[in-house]
Amino acid sequence: MALIGDIVESRRAGDRQALHDTVGEVLERVNRDHPVVDPAVITLGDEFQGVYATLGDALTAAFHIRARLRPHDVRFGLGRGAIQVLDRERGIHDGPAYWAARDAIEQAAELAGKAALRTTRTIFRSPEDPPAQVTAVNAALLTLDQVLGALSPGSWRILAGRLSGLTQKDIAEREGITPSAVSQRVRGDGIGVAMEAMRMLGELP
């Protein structure tokens, strides 16, 4: 399973070098903490690529990368198929999986250009899976992206903390709010729903 990611509107970043360094650090941590076949690395500019055994593993990596890179936003394309390694050290690959992932990330950008779908960040393409299954996965991803796109910076920090394994009490202390306030955001802002959707999507073969 190939994953391609890039930073949304990275040219607007005030310090491109700092952003590049942050992306590299986040990728290293996610590579260390989650299953990966060929570690995700920066390949060109702010784009990065990685290879995973399953769609679920690739999506889990994408969710954690996106949460850890806030306030920067990330767009992802995922593709299933054969993969050819062109340059292992630089993380450069080719083959049907990467062609599908490239098509997917381009579709994500195209959909995000439409007002009603502006929160779109992640798309899956696969010539090997039944079309209905691919459609179902993308429907779930579009809905999840809508929930994530509505989160405030504070709610994103709560989500990132929960994904990192922090308890609601830990997050409350870090944010300077009560555990009850954290719990209210988890319920009211859809953080709990987003986490459950991520868990379920993370189990896909």
Q: Is residue 169 part of a domain?
A: no
| Count of the separate structural domains present in the chain | 1
Q: CA–CA separation, 126 vs 135, rounded Å?
A: 10
Q: Judge whether 182 lies within some domain.
A: no
The predicted pLDDT at position 46 comes to 85
- Please report the pLDDT score of residue 91 as a whole number: 64
At residue 25, the pLDDT reads: 97
Please indicate, yes or no, if residue 159 is contained in any of the structural domains.
no
What pLDDT, on the 0 to 100 scale, is given for residue 29?
Answer: 97
**pLDDT at residue 85 in the model:** 80
Please indicate, yes or no, if residue 106 is contained in any of the structural domains.
yes
Measure the CA–CA gap between 132 and 142, rounded to whole angstroms. Answer: 15
**pLDDT for 155:** 97
One digit per residue, pLDDT tens: the chain, 205 residues? 999 999 998 777 778 889 999 999 999 999 999 999 999 999 888 899 999 999 999 999 999 999 999 999 999 999 999 998 887 777 677 899 999 999 999 999 999 999 999 999 999 999 999 999 999 999 999 999 999 999 999 999 999 999 999 999 999 999 999 999 999 999 999 999 999 999 999 999 9
- Range of 51's domain? 2-128
Angle at 46 between CA 106 and CA 122, to 5 degrees: 35
Give domain status of residue 176, yes or no.
no
* Model pLDDT, residue 41: 94
pLDDT value at position 62? 99
Q: Domain of 50: which CATH number?
A: 3.30.70.270
CA distance 196 to 118: 23
